[in-house]
Structure 1
Amino acid sequence: MKKHSLIKGTIILGMAGLFARFLGLFFRIPIQALIGDEGMGYYQMSYPLYMFFVAVASGVPIAMSKLISEMNAKNDREGVHQVLRQTLIFMLILGAAFTTFMLMFARPIITILKWNPKAYYSFLAIAIAPIFVSIMCTFRGFFQGLQNVRPTAISQVVEQVGRVVAGVLFAYLLFPKGIEYAAGGAALGTLVGAIMGSIYLVSTYVKVKKEQPVIRKKMHKYILGDLAKAALPISMGAAVGTIMSLIDSILVPQQLLKAGFTQLQSAVMYGQLTGKVFTLMNVPLALSVALCASLVPIIAESFSLGKRQELIKRVDMAVKLSNVIALPSALGMFFMAYPIMNLVFMKDAAGYEILKYISICIPFVILTQTSTAILQSIGNYMKPVYNLAVGCVIKVIVTYVLVSFSNVNIYGAVIGTILGYVTSCLLNMHELKKSLNIKFNRVDAFIKPAIAASIMIVAVVFSNAIVYNYTMSKGLSCIISIMIGIIVYLIFVFLLRIFKYQEIKNKFSRRK
């Protein structure tokens, strides 16, 4: 089986992630048109709880990829498959328990959290998905541990296709019964997508196992213990990050009511924040997630084999890639918030101001994710969790205080999110420098990407205005200006030599 380098693995997963996000946007467009901000509010209220489980489960594939990468480096195939078998059993039990909990306590949870009662149908629809998410997470961890990201990438696309087609279909069919039923139909797409992604990964594993028969060696007695030692802190870190969204689903609607808004107005504003803004933010974050998924087994391999110079090069490359992804994304969404929102949501640009200001936190979110992946790859599991927890506390306090002011309202959550991630990012980067005794090349890693991104956004803004003057089409001018921006950015990344030829040629990875 081929091993993918950090750059190639990031590109494969990143492209798949971006394609999946764009499919998600196509899902949002008809759903938004069908159920509006109100329906999106019902749909999104239950979604953070589901994403909390996804975050908890996400620690398992990362921990698996670390263990499997180390075993595979020692040619222990039986150990690799033992990790898969034992993890799958554990994850199925965990997923089934979470599903049972959501189904049994749906109404009490909605009442306690003071969600709109109409969110009940979305909650039920999404409750069964954790079982299949458990299967997907396990097999993705297996393939990522072998540094083969292609099955993970394809499964993301398959999952999203199922989610989009089924979600739109069920929402349309159930719409005559009411907006809350249509929102529940949209949530059913999540379940269908998870089922399709699981089927693809299991069938791919069956083929791989036939091609590479396992040679029986000694049994590993402490696999689940080793897995838990690595997975628990990673899951806690991912859960803390996702708790920020869960906090929004609890605090924001409540505090908006205190600020004097009606329950319907609160649902609409919350729908704009989560259904529109966070959806668009997730597009660049797909590349960051891809980078982290590629990073863990590659960093873990270098660290376990004691290759310090190779380790430092890979860490430096990861930070550089993070900024190359983050800076143009942040500037693009800040200066082009209205045209992007207007294009994606078919002239429904309500909430674009929220997107504009929350884009400030994109570089800090991405650097937090990358530094967390690096620290946990070298065995420093808990420090990123503590740092995320500190950021989360700041997020809670700021959101709770500011949202209740009527003149601040939903922007209190935006300010809280920015301050929370800035805090976590700075703490993580300090810990990274201390743990590895590393000094980053600030010119290559920070200044050059900032220069390229600044030139790009000037080209985007001017070309958007010029094309609009000729075509009088906001959508067409937005698309053309973004394409021009991508071309200009890539040209200046090349001209400024942000990535050296030797870095790309070497790829920092061997092939089997």
Structure 2
Amino acid sequence: MKKHSLIKGTIILGIAGIFTRFLGLFFRIPIQTLIGDEGMGYYQMSYPLYMTFVALASGVPIAMSKIISELNAKNDFYGIRKVLKDTLLVMLPIGLLASFLMIFFSKSIIHGLKWHENSYMSFIIISIAPIFVCIMCTFRGFFQGLQNMSYTGISQIIEQIGRVGGGVLFAYLLLPKGIEFAAGGAALGTVIGGILGSIYLIIIYYRKSKSMYKVKNIESKSMISEIGKAALPISLGAAVGTIMSLIDSIIVPERMLKAGFSVSESAVLYGQLTGKAVTLSNVPLALSVALCASLVPIISEAYSTNRTFELNRRIEMAFKLSFVIALPCTVGLYSLAAPIMHLVFMKDVGGYNILRLVATTIPFIVITQTTTALLQSVGDYLKPVYNLAIGCIVKVIISYVLIPMTVINIYGAVIGTLCGYIVTVVLNMFQIKKIFSVKLSLYEILLKPAIASLIMIIAVVFTYNNVYNYTISNGISCLLAIFVGALIYTILLVVLRIFTVEDIRGKIVKN
């Protein structure tokens, strides 16, 4: 099966990720119109708990990709098949158990977390999804371990199409029964997407992988213990990050009441934070997720075969890609917060100042993800978990203190998140320096992308203002400004030699 390089794998998963995030944005437009900020708040209250399970399951594909990439380097195809089989035998019961527990204890969970009772329908429906999350995670780990990102990317697109189409359809059909039922209809799209994504991956596996198993290379032992040892700390680390969102769903509504806001006002502001600002900031983060998915098997392979020069080169490339992704997204979302909100949410710009502050968290989230992936790829699983847990504690303390302050209110949650990720980045970098001897050039990996981002945003703002003055159309002005910014930034990547033509040819075309 064909391998993909770090850059090409990142591009494939990045394109798929960006496409799915844009589909998610288009999902938000009709959903926002149907159920408003209040209904979005009910939907988002249950969503972080589901995403916590997704995060727990996400350790499996990362662990599988590491183990499978090492087996693939030895041409142990029988061992690869056994990894997949053993993982499925464990993950399916876990998914079934998780769904059962979420449904059975739904009312207790909602009451215990002090969520609004109108979030019940969303929670019940979304509780079905863990079964299909487990299936998709297992097969994605298989393909990522073989360094073929195409099938993972396509499955993400199919999953999102099902989520968007099904969610909008059932939200519309259930709206006459009330906002809480419409929010439940939106959640049903998540289940439909999971079913479609699982079916696609299973079909592709049986079609494409038969040729690998014609020869039984060696009698491999069960790999489930190795996968468990690797997946558990990775999953815990991912869960700690998602728990930050879960913490917001618990702390924000309750602390907003302390600040003097009503239940309805708290739900509206929470919907603006999670349903709008965080959703928009998650679009560029799809590229970072793609980078990390490509990074683990590639770094693991170089590390396990003692290719030091190649290892150091790939680490530097990973950091460079991180800043190339994060910096333009940060300045872009910050500078065009209101126009983008106006474009995406049909003239509803409520929460654009929240988006500006959320945009400042992007570089620290991206570097946290990258450094975590680097540490995981060489078997250092627990340290990133500890570091992220410390960051999470910092986030909780700051959010808890700041949100009740009337002048700060909802912004306290974002400030807490920002501080939490800054602490995590610092701790992860200390660990990176202990393990790797690579010397990073800040000029190459940080300053050059920063210069390119600064020039780009000047051009973007200039384009937006001038086109808007001429057309009086936010949509045309915003889209044209983004296009001009992307074009100029791409040119600057080559002009400033952030990436050379040889890099592009060698890493993308040939691979």
Equivalents in 2 of 1:211, 1:470: separation in Å?
Answer: 60
Question: What residue in structure 1 maps to residue 394 of structure 2?
Answer: 394
State the 1:260 CA deviation: 1.3
Question: What residue in structure 2 maps to residue 281 of structure 1?
Answer: 281
What does 1:332-347 align with in structure 2 at a 5 Å threshold? Answer: 332-347=332-347
* Structure 1 outlier segments of 4+, above 4 Å: 508-511
Contact 1:35 1:183 in 2 (8 A): yes
Q: Write the deviation string for residues 92-114 of structure 1: whole angstroms up to 9, x where unpaired.
A: 11111110110000001100111
Are residues 1:350 and 2:350 paired?
Answer: yes
Equivalents in 2 of 1:185, 1:90: separation in Å?
Answer: 30
Question: What residue in structure 2 maps to residue 249 of structure 1?
Answer: 249
Partner amino acid, structure 2, of 1:305? T
Equivalents in 1 of 2:253, 2:159: separation in Å?
Answer: 30
Q: What stretches of structure 2 of length at least 5 have no aligned partner? A: none
Distance 1:462 1:201, change over 3 A: same
Question: What residue in structure 2 maps to residue 201 of structure 1?
Answer: 201
Equivalents in 2 of 1:501, 1:426: separation in Å?
Answer: 33
Give the TM-score normalised by structure 2.
Answer: 0.98
Question: What residue in structure 2 maps to residue 456 of structure 1?
Answer: 456
State the 1:216 CA deviation: 2.5
Q: What stretches of structure 1 of length at least 5 have no aligned partner? A: none
Question: What residue in structure 2 maps to residue 294 of structure 1?
Answer: 294
What does 1:125-274 align with in structure 2 at a 5 Å threshold? Answer: 125-274=125-274
SS class of match (1:47): helix
Partner amino acid, structure 2, of 1:320? K
State the 1:428 CA deviation: 1.1
Contact 1:256 1:410 in 2 (8 A): yes
State the 1:222 CA deviation: 4.4
Equivalents in 1 of 2:508, 2:311: separation in Å?
Answer: 9
State the 1:509 CA deviation: 11
Equivalents in 2 of 1:475, 1:174: separation in Å?
Answer: 31
What does 1:85-164 align with in structure 2 at a 5 Å threshold? Answer: 85-164=85-164
Equivalents in 2 of 1:510, 1:49: separation in Å?
Answer: 42
Contact 1:44 1:271 in 2 (8 A): yes
> Comparing 336-345 with 216-225, which one deviates more in the overlay?
216-225
Q: Write the deviation string for residues 223-251 of structure 1: whole angstroms up to 9, x where unpaired.
A: 11111111111101101110100000010
State the 1:374 CA deviation: 0.7
> Comparing 66-75 with 435-444, which one deviates more in the overlay?
435-444
Question: What residue in structure 2 maps to residue 25 of structure 1?
Answer: 25
Give the TM-score normalised by structure 1.
Answer: 0.98
SS class of match (1:379): coil
Question: What residue in structure 2 maps to residue 503 of structure 1?
Answer: 503
Equivalents in 2 of 1:153, 1:34: separation in Å?
Answer: 30
Equivalents in 1 of 2:500, 2:84: separation in Å?
Answer: 38
Are residues 1:423 and 2:423 paired?
Answer: yes
State the 1:425 CA deviation: 1.1
Q: Write the deviation string for residues 297-320 of structure 1: whole angstroms up to 9, x where unpaired.
A: 111100111111100000100000
Are residues 1:490 and 2:490 paired?
Answer: yes
Question: What residue in structure 1 maps to residue 316 of structure 2?
Answer: 316
Equivalents in 1 of 2:329, 2:446: separation in Å?
Answer: 14
Contact 2:86 2:222 in 1 (8 A): no
The Cα RMSD (Å) is: 1.2
Contact 1:6 1:509 in 2 (8 A): no
SS class of match (2:361): helix
State the 1:430 CA deviation: 2.2
Contact 2:65 2:146 in 1 (8 A): yes
> Comparing 204-213 with 277-286, which one deviates more in the overlay?
204-213
Equivalents in 1 of 2:90, 2:3: separation in Å?
Answer: 27
State the 1:433 CA deviation: 2.0
State the 1:214 CA deviation: 3.8
State the 1:166 CA deviation: 0.4
SS class of match (1:507): helix
State the 1:207 CA deviation: 0.4
Equivalents in 1 of 2:235, 2:274: separation in Å?
Answer: 23
